[in-house]
Structure formats: C-alpha cells, structure tokens
Structure 1
Amino acid sequence: MKIIKILNNNVIYGRDRDGYAIVMGKGIGFNGKAGQKLQSEQIEKIIRMDSDETTSSFVKDLERIPHEFFELSNSIVDYATTALDTKLNGNVYITLTDHISFAIERQQKGLLITNPMLYEIKHYYPAEFQVGLHATEMVQRRFGVDLGENEAAFIAMHIVCARYNSDMTEMMDTTHLVTEIIDLVEQHFGIRLKATSHAYQRFVTHLRFLAGRVVADGQWESEDAMEEDFVQAVKKSFPKEYQCSQLVGDYIEQTYGHKMSNMELTYLTVHLRNMRKGQQQ
C-alpha cells in the first residue's frame, strides 16, 4: 500500500494492487509523504468503496468535513458490524459521515427534523434501530448534542442500506411495501398484529426479503415437481392463509407489475400461518 495523500496522523489515502482505499492506523500519516510504501504492521483498517471514483470523491469530502465526524462514523460502523455480526458496504462511511455532520449542525441551530418512517424503522429493523440509538449516545458523549430517536432512525436507515447493499430509495420503497402488505393482512383477518411479538418479527423479516425482490424486480428460482407437491399441500392445509397470500399477490402485481411465483405465494402462506399462531399465544 502506497500513500497518495495524508489526511491526518491516523488516516491516509492510498493505493495498492486492489485499487484506491482509505487506510487507518495509529500514527500512519505522521511524518509520511506521498509515494511512501506502508508496512503491513502500520495498517489497522482498509476501507474500500464500490469504485475508485467514489473513494476519490470521499477524500474530497473528508477535506471539507471535520475529521471528528469521520472518526465517529468509523466507530459507529465498527459497533454495527459487531452488533449485527455482518459486513457493511464501504459506502456507508460516506453517507453516515455526511449525515452525522449535517445532523449535528442542524441540532445546534435548533432545526429539528421528524423522521416520517420512525415507526417502521423501529418495528421492521429493530436491530439496526438499536445501533442508531447507540450511535446517538456516542454523539452525545463526544459532542454534547442529543440527536434523539428520529435521528437514530435515520442512522439506522443508512445501516440498513449498507447491510443489504441497497440505496435509500430502494430501502424506503421496500419499507413502504412491507407496510402495505401488513395493512392488507390486518384488514383480511380483521386483526391488529402485535408488533412486539417474535412471530411478528419473523413475519416482517420474510416480508422484507419479499418486498426487496419486488422492488428490485427479482425473480424466484425455477420450480420443480417436488415443489409443486409442497405448494398443493400448503394450499390444502392452510386455505385461509393462502387466500390472503393471493390477495397480496394480486395487489403486488397490480401495483408493482411483479407476478409472485407459486413458491413465493406458498412461503408467504406458511409465514402467515406461523404469524397467526404466534399472535394467538
């Protein structure tokens, strides 16, 4: 890894055989200079974006934004990857650093913003929302600014996008579709789902992946004869839930132009059945 530019004593912009990257390490930039080759023991973390152009653009942003915000974002990402036990898309450093810097500035100026998706983020992405809450606590400790749960939900949205490799528009569209499906289910069965139950959370997890396929116009893999037997068995065993699945399928096709496959309808039926049983316990 060679140094292209020193950003501060602990962060440099570098390049190796895999491309451009943000490189972190204690004292990695101290007394360094462009063209210098780094030793592996100097490097603690390498951050790669989805393209060299994106990385270069982020370097320009870091020259504009105080480094404290990037360091905080790095700490939040480290916490999120551990708490969620997952890798996050490197672009989250860009979106999160930018968001946090503006969020703190708005709060200091008394410009408060309400997150219209607060309820959905809390209930559809509870783990990511907890990360968002932890992030606001980190902001409070470091900058003395209380961002509140609306901003915690905004931070969670960035984490969700990085976790599932989607952009903010796709994430919001997916979340909106999940809400629409839940509304249809509640109307069909004449019930109010218990958002705090484990059955509800499992059901929402399935809906997130279903909605993600719909928004991305993805297709279920081809079905074989054995799967057809499974479809028929589920239809026969859970007719009320299958009828609800068909209503959801009709709505999705009419609204989004996506025709759900037999297996998608069948798995939705199974999850509906499990959700209803769980709600009754």
Structure 2
Amino acid sequence: MKSYLVKKTFNNNAVLVSLGQNEYILIGKGIGFNKKKGSILMESNLIENVFIQVDETNKNQYEYLLETTDEKIVKIVEDIVSMAEKELGETLHVNIHFGLIDHINFALSRIREGIEIVNPFLLETRMLYKKEYAIAEKAVEILKEQMNIEIPESEIGFITFHIHGGRMGGKKSDSLSYVKAISQVVPYIEDKLELTLVENSFDSVRLVSHLRGLIERCVKNETIENLLLDKIKKDFPFEYKISENIALLLKKNIGIVVPENEIGYIALHLYKLNHSKK
C-alpha cells in the first residue's frame, strides 16, 4: 500500500505530499487537520481526496493560492464540486478545484470592495448550458449561506463556465468562447427574421441546443449527413443564405469551419422559426 509523506500543510483542507520523486497537492475535507511536516498519509485513507500533481511549472502558483486563500473558501469549493458531480453523475476534471478556488477568492474580494461584476453573456450562458447553470445557481446559494454575503447574478454565469469546463476536460475558456459566438449569432437571427427569441420557448431551446451541438461537432471535426441538403438550398434560399452568414460568424469568432451539411440543418431550423411567427 502506498504511503505519502506530508511536506507542507496549507490548511485543514489542503496539504502538499510526496511519493517517491513526485509531489502532489491533496485537497479534501479535513485532510490537513493535525497534519505536520513529516506525517504519513496512507493511500487507503485518501480515497475521497483530490490528487493534483505539481512540478516546477505550477508548484509556486498553487502554493501561493492556497497560502493566501481563506481555508473556508477551499472547503466551500469542495462542497460545490461534490454537489455538481452528484447532480451530473460524473467526475469533473481536476482543474476545476483550483480554477474555482482562484475565481471565487477573487470574486469575493471584488464584491467586498464594492466593485460591480458585469457579465454581458448571462442570457446566452443560461440558454446554452442549462444544466450547468442550474448547478451554478445552487453553488451561489452555498456561497451566500456560508460566506454570509450577497452574490450578484452575474457570478452564476461565471461559475457555469467552470462547471462546463470541468465536464469538457478542464477547458473553461472554450465555454466562454462558445457563449460569445452564440451571443452574436442570436441577435443576427432575430434581426434577419424580424422576431424575438423568447428564452425558454420551445423554438429558442431547440435552436440554441442545435447550435451548441453543431459547435461541438465542428470542434471535433465531426458532422452529420444531410440527405435533404439540395432540397433545402432550393426550397429555402433565404434561410440558407442567413445560415451561410452564421457559419462565417462562427468561423470568425471561434475558428470553426461549418460544413454544408450543417449549414443546411441551420437553415431548416430557421425556416421553422420563420414560419412559426404569429
């Protein structure tokens, strides 16, 4: 059975340990309680703890973050991640732990200083990542209750990015890029079709869900066959032209190439939207 040597205790919820030549930061409730340098932690007692391997490229950054962050925040983040994993039924990428600790620590500092936190993509975030957004709402309630502080709604959106990033291999920045892209596509559609997309309407949910799937397929260089492509081009030229421009917007903003098959499906959605107007 492996045994880990404690090299530093940051707080009750985080310690630096070594195993052979490798070093790890362990995060978990009570992991650092009464642990001193030289203490031994047995592997069998660490099943529920998070292991984050550190090296010369990130060790100082991680240590500084843990040494300067209220240990209460570390515990709250573990509560949030545990809640999110339970709700989703999956394990999130290890990067979410430090990502959320850093973000929440900074956000709380800004709130206490009275600095307004603005999130211009809140609506698009809520539409694009409904499940993650609902979990982020619960996370904000945990923060409010345990830190006894009012948290603005904008923070729900930012925490949503971290949760989605945790589901997608730790790449929070991709989530934000996709939301920014959708935030340009939706107004363009509304302008061209002369309509307003109501957030929770069936048409809005269907369209945004399709755009999300399209982006993820294009990022992975996947596509779906469209046997109706020629017919769509012929029967829906107006919607197809708008869809081509949407593809150009996505290429400009997030660098993806949208194939014709996908453009055709966008046009089909736009046709349904255009002909369901009252």
In the alignment, the residues of structure 2 paired with residue 62 and residue 19 of structure 1 have an alpha-carbon distance, to the nearest angstrom, of 15
> Is 2:5 aligned against 1:7?
no
In the alignment, the residues of structure 2 paired with residue 87 and residue 251 of structure 1 have an alpha-carbon distance, to the nearest angstrom, of 34
Aligned position for 1:62: 66
Distance 1:275 1:28, change over 3 A: farther
> Is 2:83 aligned against 1:82?
no
Unmatched segments (≥5 aa) in structure 2:
none
- SS of equivalent to 1:48: strand
The CA deviation at 1:101 is 1.7
- Letter of the structure 2 residue corresponding to residue 244 of structure 1: I
RMSD of aligned Cα (Å)? 3.5
In the alignment, the residues of structure 1 paired with residue 31 and residue 206 of structure 2 have an alpha-carbon distance, to the nearest angstrom, of 45
In the alignment, the residues of structure 2 paired with residue 52 and residue 209 of structure 1 have an alpha-carbon distance, to the nearest angstrom, of 38
Distance 1:59 1:198, change over 3 A: farther
- Letter of the structure 2 residue corresponding to residue 64 of structure 1: T
**TM-score for the superposition, normalised by structure 2:** 0.78
Aligned residues: 274
- State the Cα deviation string for residues 2-35 of structure 1 (Å, max 9, x = none): 1343333453333458973424364565355437
Aligned position for 1:220: 221
Query: Among the aligned pairs, what percent are the same residue?
Result: 24
Moved more, 138-147 or 152-161: 152-161
Aligned position for 1:260: 258
Choose which of 136, 159, 174 in structure 1 pairs with 2:140: 136
In the alignment, the residues of structure 2 paired with residue 157 and residue 33 of structure 1 have an alpha-carbon distance, to the nearest angstrom, of 36
Choose which of 103, 107, 117 in structure 2 pairs with 1:103: 107
The CA deviation at 1:145 is 0.4
1:1-281 pair list within 5 angstroms: 1-4=3-6, 5-15=8-18, 20-24=24-28, 26=30, 29-31=33-35, 33-34=37-38, 36-48=40-52, 53-54=57-58, 57-165=61-169, 167=171, 169-211=173-215, 218=219, 220-221=221-222, 227=225, 229-235=227-233, 240-252=238-250, 258-273=256-271
Unmatched segments (≥5 aa) in structure 1:
none
Contact 2:94–2:166 under 8 Å retained in 1: yes
Contact 1:25–1:42 under 8 Å retained in 2: no
